[in-house]
Amino acid sequence: MKTLSVSHLLGIKNLKLEDLHLIFETATHFKEVINRPIKKVPSLRDITIANLFFENSTRTKLSFELAEKRLSADVINFSSAQSSINKGETLVDTVNNILAMKVDIVVMRHPNSGAAHYISKHVKSCIINAGDGTHEHPSQALLDTFSLQEKFGNLTGRRIAIVGDILHSRVALSNIYALKMLGAEVRLCAPKSLLPKHIESMGVSVSTDLMEVLNWCDAVNMLRVQNERMELSYFPNTREYSQNFGLTGERLSQLRKKIVVLHPGPINRGVEITSEVADSEQAIILDQVENGVAVRMAIIYLLASKLNIPLK
Ligand code: CP
């Protein structure tokens, strides 16, 4: 059986191209499973998974939980708001106490960049990063690139634009790693204040001209402005941001071809994308969400197969 080159999923940076192909191949199989009348397989019947969310989430949390249940794992959920974190317990103590209840895999979202790497070094468990601060969101990039491959066949030479708050975006960083690994060309578009310095050294091009970027690309991934991570003002106001960087039906209608529109969610309708575009045929936003379950089933299944527990 083919296996992943890693024992944790901490970021796309740590993966090899063969890992991406294996995850996509396995996700394709699981996508067929979750579209059957009986959407479940017994594979992880003897595995227990803890979902630890120290930061808000809708899609990622529910998608991981559903993926785990579709694989027949036992699942426990932890949310920091109602936990003893508020009484001063450390992250390592919290995770070790949960692991003492015989948990095999930890899925963790945390507001601090590097939290998943840190915990993987300090506890004995398989760790899956469900988003750490402004660092990486590997399962999101895997479902985004899986969805793009479904549309285009393969991504070699495809032109993919990422527009919006690149500076604060773990989705952007993980997507850049994944898209480059799969052979795509990547162009970033944002106000200069929301572009990290020296980002071109990752092998991407940069523009502040949205129409130029939209005319260049085959697909555009629209990012949310992450006000919760901003301590400063990065642009004058939301109206001006939308005028310069918002994706509207009018802008799409001026292009020479039909491009594919992605958004990782949550959407700020009327800010980075209008409802007309988000709900249009060109948008594959809900396909991304559907694929998220299959891709997360693949990630969990492949990592679980590296544990010393026989799968069913
Ligand atoms: N895309 C994403 O991470 O969404 P949530 O914050 O709702 O999990």
Separation CA 288–CA 34 (nearest Å): 14
Sort 19 into a burial class: Cβ within 10 Å, 0-12 / 13-18 / 19+: buried
**Alpha carbon distance, N-terminus to C-terminus of the chain:** 14
Residue 182 has pLDDT above 90, yes or no: yes
Q: Judge whether residue 291 has pLDDT over 90.
A: yes
- Mean pLDDT lowest among 45-49, 76-80, 107-111, 232-236: 232-236
Give the global pTM. Answer: 0.95
- Residue 139 Cβ < 6 Å to ligand 1: no
What are 141-175's pLDDT values in tens digits?
999 999 999 999 999 999 999 999 999 999 999 99
Q: Rounded distance, CA 312 to CA 310, Å?
A: 7
pLDDT band at 228 (very low <50, low <70, confident <90, very high): low
Report pLDDT for 229.
59
- Name which residue sits closest to atom 5 of ligand 1, judged by CA: 57
User: Measured between alpha carbons, how far is residue 47 from residues 52, 69, 125, 126 in Å?
Assistant: 16, 11, 12, 12
The atom of ligand 1 lying closest to the CA of 60 is 8
Structure tokens at 37: 């009348």
Q: Which atom of ligand 1 is nearest to the CA of 63?
A: 8
Question: Which pLDDT score, from 0 to 100, does residue 84 have?
Answer: 78
User: Are the beta carbons of 2 and 22 closer than 8 angstroms?
Assistant: yes
| The pLDDT of residue 217 is above 70 | yes
Report whether pLDDT(233) > 80.
no
Three-state secondary structure string covering 197-243: CCHHHHCCEEECCHHHHHHHCCEEEECCCCHHHCCCCCCCCHHHHHH
Q: Mean pLDDT, to the nearest integer, of 174-181?
A: 98
140 vs 240: which has the higher pLDDT:
140
* Mean pLDDT computed over 21-34: 98
| C-alpha span between 243 and 278 (Å, rounded) | 17
pLDDT value of residue 83? 76
Q: Which residue shows structure tokens 């559903």? A: 66
Question: Contact at 8 Å (CB) between 142 and 13?
Answer: no
CA 24 from chain center: how many Å?
14
- Tell me, what amino acid is at 113? S
What one-character-per-residue DSSP string does 37-82 give? SS----TTTT-EEEEEESS--SHHHHHHHHHHHHTT-EEEEEEGGG
Angle in degrees, 0-180, between the axes of helices 170-181 and 17-34, rounded to the nearest 10: 110
Q: What does the pLDDT read at residue 278? A: 98
Cβ proximity of 48 and 102 under 8 Å: yes
Helix-strand-coil split of the chain, %, nearest 5: 45, 15, 40
Which residue CA neighbors atom 3 of ligand 1 most closely? 60
pLDDT of 201 > 90? The answer is yes
| Confidence check: pLDDT of 234 > 80 | no
Decide whether any atom of ligand 1 lies within 6 Å of the 288 Cβ.
no
Residue 235, pLDDT > 90, answer no
221 pocket-lining for ligand 1 (C-beta < 6 Å): no
pLDDT over 90 (residue 258) = yes
* pLDDT score for 247: 98
Q: Residue 250 pLDDT > 80, yes or no?
A: yes
Q: How many CA atoms lie within 13 A of 297 on its CB side?
A: 28
Rg (CA), the chain: 19
Across the range 6-18, mean pLDDT stands at 98
Q: How many other β-carbons are positioned within 10 Å of the β-carbon of residue 211?
A: 12
pLDDT at 17 over 80: yes
Q: What pLDDT is stored for residue 308 in this prediction?
A: 81
pLDDT tens digit string along 58-114?
A: 999 999 999 999 999 999 999 887 777 778 899 999 999 999 999 999 999 999 999
Share of the chain above pLDDT 70, in %: 97
The pLDDT of 235-252, averaged and rounded, is: 91
* 155 DSSP 8-state letter: -
Kindly report the protein residue whose alpha carbon is nearest to atom 6 of ligand 1: 57
Q: Give the SS3 label for residue 187.
A: strand
The mean pLDDT of the chain is 95
